[in-house]
Structure 1
Amino acid sequence: MNLARRTMNAPALAAVYEKAWRPTLFYLASGRTTAADRRDAVTALHLDGSKKILDIACGPGNFTKYLSNALSGDGYAIGLDYSEPMLARAITDNSGPRVGYLRGDARRLPFADGTFDAVCCFGALYLIPDPIAATREMIRVLAPGGRIALTTSHRADTPFGHASRIVGGWSGLRVFTTDIFPKLFAENGLVGIDQQVHRLLQYVSATRPQ
């Protein structure tokens, strides 16, 4: 397990992740606040009513719980993560009537094809050992008409971008080029692909056709 993944599995990090660690790092990387990210996530995923959401690599569940607040009726959100300390924190801090948590591997999701109306992964693909396999799994479990959204690292074709790839490789963080996820979405038949780049992060969303 590389340095980045060992860090994410540390109980001490789970305790402070959403209160200090993530807001600080994401603001430095993108110039965006957690509150703005959460609001945009609800918009990007077209959340309302009785939709079923899967939040990949949910960490301590702050996004998962927030997304569940946009639902009603039979709607629910499932947060999936591999880290036991993160899931323990999620259950303690972010339980609710429309949210649940599950330990699992993003590369082999334990769900049938087309199970969810919305699938997301915010700020974690660069930690997953095979992020392309995990993204294909996200697409597989997405229902026709459903929305997918992800936030991950971005490497511009500049000297600074190439330096970030080297530093990321040393720590175990992958740094992705601009075209990899839009291309992967298109190859898997998704439409309405939208990509926004904010400093060192890229936000990509799309729809699975009916």
Structure 2
Amino acid sequence: QVRRIYDGPAGHVLPWGSILSLHEPLVGHLLRAKKFDVSRFHDILDVGSGAGQILRHLLKVARPDARLVACDLSTQMLRRARQRLKSKRPALVTADITCLPFSDESFDCVTCGWVLEHLPDPRPGLAEMARVLRPGGSILILATEATLSGAIVSRTWKCRTYSRDELREACSDVGLIWREQMWFTRFHELFKMGGILVEATRCNGTLPGEATRSTGVPNRESGNGEEDGSTVVSSAKTNQQAASDTTAVSSHRR
């Protein structure tokens, strides 16, 4: 259902909606002000990248030698992102947040903006992000909060909302610890607006359910921004092989 929504008209208006709601420019401000300092990281994954609302800011603030990978459930949204960004640097991967095709501990940073709202239970998605994150690495989570403004967003985009306690507990259940809660601006903090913005970190040691690993592998886009059958990863490949392929594509695009 989510794929159908964003493959259709909603996907076309998403970039404009993000700008008009100020979500996209506010994320840019957050990253430029280094409230979440991306320059610390070498391997960055943007989950649920959509039309590149967060990715376009990551391209500006990430270190030049950082590996950037973006994934989304909708291949059509990734095509729009490629056209919008006009950059071949990030590797774009079609993937479900609950079944990421990357090996364990592949990234030291994961960003996830307004994606968990589309899951009935956030734990499967959070668990996958924790799995691909290195111990000590950070996840930037942006989610719609269960407030009046959040209810409007929920109705518009047909998604759910979260309370802070609910999302914190879900993170804890999969081995993620809330390091810092953030706000876009002082105004947002005073009036408790703007949703949930939190930096979470993976705890050291074995993650809950670590023995279970996903094996799904997605389609990918080729370096010229068009879908290319030669770049489709076989479902028989392991996560490690898929991650290796993604790294190679990313390196080629720099």
Q: How would you bin the TM-score normalised by the shorter chain?
A: 0.7 to 0.9
Which residue of 2 is the match for residue 35 of structure 1? 25
Please say if residues 44 and 205 of structure 1, whose CA atoms lie closer than 8 Å, have aligned partners that are also in contact: no
What TM-score, normalized to structure 1? 0.77
What runs of 5+ residues in structure 1 fail to find an aligned partner?
Answer: 28-32
Which residue of 2 is the match for residue 194 of structure 1? 180
CA distance in 1 between partners of 2:135 and 2:195 (Å): 28
Letter matched to residue 78 of structure 1 = V
Structure 2 SS opposite 1:69: helix
Which residue of 2 is the match for residue 30 of structure 1? none
> What is the root-mean-square deviation of aligned Cα atoms in Å?
3.0
The answer on 1:92 being equivalent to 2:78 is: no
Please say if residues 126 and 174 of structure 1, whose CA atoms lie closer than 8 Å, have aligned partners that are also in contact: yes
What runs of 5+ residues in structure 2 fail to find an aligned partner?
Answer: 183-188, 205-254
CA distance in 1 between partners of 2:146 and 2:108 (Å): 30
CA distance in 2 between partners of 1:122 and 1:91 (Å): 18
Q: 1:192 to 1:57 in 2, by over 3 A?
A: closer
Q: CA deviation at 1:62?
A: 3.2
Structure 1 SS opposite 2:63: coil
Alignment of 1:1-210 (within 5 A): 1=1, 6-10=4-8, 12-18=9-15, 20-24=16-20, 26-27=21-22, 33-41=23-31, 43-48=34-39, 51-128=42-119, 130-156=121-147, 164=151, 168=154, 172-191=158-177, 193-196=179-182, 198-199=192-193, 201-209=195-203
| Structure 1 moving runs of 4+ over 6 Å | none
Structure 1 SS opposite 2:39: coil
Q: CA deviation at 1:128?
A: 3.5
Q: Which has the higher strand share?
A: 1
Q: How many residues align?
A: 195
Structure 1 SS opposite 2:38: coil
